[in-house]
Amino acid sequence: MQAVVDNKKTPVAAVIAVLLRGDEVLLVSRKNPPDVGLWGFPGGKMDFGETMEEAAVRELYEETGVRAHAGQVLTALNAYDKDEAGRILQHFVLLAVLCVWQSGEPVAADDAEDAGWFRLSALQDGTLELSQDVLEVAQLALRVQGVAVS
């Protein structure tokens, strides 16, 4: 089905921080819309004048207290916040930035309800309710880092 386009609204640039530690990925459970209660990567809107990498590192720290430095941009994704009738309320362009862990253990803060490290099997077995594209982005990040993905 073709989406209804509203030329008066513009997409919002946002980042997600894709942080690996060995064969684990850091995820947060959201406490605010969109995706309340779903597990996804820490992230949020970019500030004016902020680079993608700066935004990813800042959002990661604000939501989890974990320090990292930013690496390459892995991919870009569309994310939509929709109402009950399926109308698009907001359109986000998410830039997935691969980050390298420096220090800290995740503690949920800001708009994260919970935070933790998860193996790929936990993302695949259905025990976590995931935001759109989380599994695919995690698999991509692990492959880029040379971790075997099944």
- The residue range of the domain holding 28 is 12-144
pLDDT at 1: 54
Residue 110 one-letter amino acid: D
pLDDT at 34: 78
pLDDT at 2: 58
Instruction: With CA atoms as reference, report the closest residue to 45 among 34, 28, 99, 65.
Output: 34
Specify if 149 maps to a domain.
Answer: no
Specify if 85 maps to a domain.
Answer: yes
Specify if 106 maps to a domain.
Answer: yes
Residues 106-136 have pLDDT tens digits of 999 988 999 999 999 999 999 899 999 999 9
- How many distinct structural domains can be found in the chain? 1
Residues 64-120 have pLDDT tens digits of 999 999 999 999 999 998 899 999 999 999 999 999 999 999 999 988 999 999 999
Specify if 101 maps to a domain.
Answer: yes
Q: Whole-prediction pTM value?
A: 0.91
Specify if 134 maps to a domain.
Answer: yes
Please give the Cα distance from 123 to 8 (Å, whole number).
Answer: 37
**Contact in structure between 118 and 24 (CB atoms under 8 Å):** yes
Specify if 5 maps to a domain.
Answer: no
Residues 23-45 have pLDDT tens digits of 899 999 998 877 889 999 999 99
Specify if 1 maps to a domain.
Answer: no
Name the percent of the chain lying above pLDDT 90: 79
pLDDT at 35: 87
Query: What is the arithmetic mean of pLDDT over 141-148?
Result: 91
User: Is 16's pLDDT higher than 70?
Assistant: yes
CATH of the domain at 117: 3.90.79.10
Specify if 3 maps to a domain.
Answer: no
